[in-house]
Amino acid sequence: MENKTNRIKKSLYFIFSIIFSILLASAIIINSIPDQIKIFADQTRIISLPLKDVTISVLPETKVIPGGHSIGVRMDVKGVLVVGLQEIDTVFGETINPGMDAGLEIGDSILEINNIAVDSAEEVQKIVNSIQGEIRLKVSRRGNIIHLTITPVQSADDNMYKIGVWVRNKTAGLGTLTFYNPDNKSFGALGHAITDPDTGHVLKVRDGKLLSASVESVKQGTAGIPGEIRGIFYEADDPLGDLLKNTSFGILGTTYKDIENPIYPEPLSIGYQNEVELGPAYILTTLDKNIVKKYKINIDKIDIQTKPKTKSMVISVTDEELIKKTGGIVQGMSGSPIIQNDKIVGAVTHVFVNDPTKGYGIFIEWMLQQID
């Protein structure tokens, strides 16, 4: 009788375990179903899936003018960026680094001194020497705001009061335009962020301009030595537009006037990642003056992504003219639009250092997503 009771108990435990496993699996499946599914059209519907209602947002098809134009970027950053810390020989014969002692780090952005906003090294120097005593700093560090107290010291070199930091508030460079949207005059370029060369940190935009550029020469890339496009850009007398965002997925802003593409005068549709295929494609880029040209590439690998990343696909240059002139992908080509099946599917972002014929591309949808 006792054995029979034990068998019944074991059977009930087994049945309860199965029921619990089924319920757990169901919960996992339900949670894995997205709350929203986006597809093309102009309306929103709710459909019923097993155990869950899902909203389907049907989006209008996006069309933009492809880029490929060489551009100049001039950007003022928010506050002043700390790019170095320096020891000061004081009038009292001591060697002190006030910035480091106060907790400043390379990559910090000094936003305010004693509640006064600062945007240049000259402003920092002026305020520090007008106070000649303890000051309070408002600092941005990796997206967080912190407050530090620092005591400047008088330098034996020039009798100026200093806090022992090297700072920068401007940056500039060349790149390639990815797209222009004539409907709202928005643009995207580069496919990656503008970072400070000394710290590697993404720079926050205070004010920036998109400028016309002309390619003067190209340094060919070889294994281990990246090449680069060398050119000039025209100052702010006649800028193309305003730079509003510097994101990990490219720079974004608005233009003052329409941007034309001689190869594609009419907008092209966006190709989302589910439409990208392995195989032939091409890029648009500028290697001579301001002439946009088309060059053949191959999409070798596609990384299906559920969230934005800058390395969405691996590409290789197959165009003999491009390889002969540049060796493959070079600095300054970042942002060159990738076109496949008459749709813009992405942009060039990085080159393989050991093989300049290969590089990474970002899905165009991740760049467009940053505009909102």
For 267-279, write each residue's pLDDT tens digit: 999 999 999 999 9
258 pLDDT above the threshold of 80:
yes
Please report whether residue 55 resides in a domain. yes
In the residue annotation, 69 being an active-site residue is answered as: no
7 pLDDT above the threshold of 80:
no
Tokens of 208: 């920036």
In the residue annotation, 101 being an active-site residue is answered as: no
User: What mean pLDDT do residues 145-165 have?
Assistant: 92
* Residues whose CB falls within 8 Å of the CB of residue 8, separated by 6 or more in sequence, listed in order: none
Banded pLDDT at 73 (limits 50, 70, 90)? confident
CA distances from 264 to 66, 267, 294, 296 (A): 7, 7, 11, 16
Q: Are residues 154 and 205 in the same domain?
A: no
- Percent of the chain residues topping a pLDDT of 70: 82
CATH code assigned at 335: 2.40.10.120
- Give the pLDDT score at 46: 44
Q: Per mean pLDDT, which of 87-91, 201-205, 280-284 is the most reliable?
A: 280-284
What pLDDT digit, counting tens, does each position of 332-363 carry?
999 999 999 999 999 999 999 899 999 999 99
60 pLDDT above the threshold of 80:
no
One-letter amino acid at 366 equals: W
Q: Are residues 174 and 318 in the same domain?
A: yes
Q: Are residues 239 and 311 in the same domain?
A: yes
Final residue before a domain boundary, out of 146, 163, 180: 163
In the residue annotation, 147 being an active-site residue is answered as: no
Banded pLDDT at 208 (limits 50, 70, 90)? confident
Share the mean pLDDT of the chain.
84
- Give the pLDDT score at 40: 43
Q: Are residues 51 and 101 in the same domain?
A: no
Longest dimension (CA), the chain: 101
Range of the domain at 131: 87-163
Q: Which of 108, 334, 336, 350 is catalytic?
A: 334
Q: Which of 108, 119, 196, 319 is catalytic?
A: 319
Please report whether residue 17 resides in a domain. no
Q: Which of 70, 108, 109, 192 is catalytic?
A: 192
Please report whether residue 336 resides in a domain. yes
- Give the pLDDT score at 76: 78
Final residue before a domain boundary, out of 163, 197, 221: 163
User: What mean pLDDT do residues 210-234 have?
Assistant: 85
Banded pLDDT at 287 (limits 50, 70, 90)? very high
User: What mean pLDDT do residues 280-302 have?
Assistant: 96
Contact 297, 338 (CB under 8 A): yes
- Give the pLDDT score at 72: 87
Q: Are residues 114 and 153 in the same domain?
A: yes
Please report whether residue 304 resides in a domain. yes
Q: Are residues 277 and 331 in the same domain?
A: yes
Q: Are residues 224 and 100 in the same domain?
A: no
Q: What angle do CA 108, 173, 140 make, to 5 degrees?
A: 15
Q: Are residues 113 and 256 in the same domain?
A: no
Please report whether residue 155 resides in a domain. yes
- Give the pLDDT score at 80: 83
Please report whether residue 21 resides in a domain. no
Banded pLDDT at 237 (limits 50, 70, 90)? low
- Give the pLDDT score at 37: 46
- Percent of the chain residues topping a pLDDT of 90: 51
Banded pLDDT at 43 (limits 50, 70, 90)? very low
Residue 111, class by beta-carbon neighbours within 10 Å (0-12 exposed, 13-18 middle, 19+ buried)?
A: middle
CATH code assigned at 104: 2.30.42.10
Q: Are residues 159 and 256 in the same domain?
A: no
- Give the pLDDT score at 17: 66
- Give the pLDDT score at 356: 94
- Give the pLDDT score at 32: 52
Contact 364, 270 (CB under 8 A): yes
Please report whether residue 16 resides in a domain. no
Final residue before a domain boundary, out of 121, 141, 163: 163
- Give the pLDDT score at 345: 97
Determine if the pTM surpasses 0.85.
no
- Give the pLDDT score at 165: 85
Torsion from C-alpha of 200, 204, 206, 211, nearest 10 degrees: 60
Between residues 319 and 97, the one the model is more confident about: 319
Q: Are residues 224 and 346 in the same domain?
A: yes
52 pLDDT above the threshold of 60:
no
Q: Are residues 148 and 217 in the same domain?
A: no
47 pLDDT above the threshold of 50:
no
Q: Are residues 214 and 352 in the same domain?
A: yes
- Give the pLDDT score at 174: 87
Please report whether residue 19 resides in a domain. no
Total structural domains within the chain: 3
Q: Give the closest residue to 321 by CA, choosing from 271, 287, 292.
A: 287
- Give the pLDDT score at 16: 60
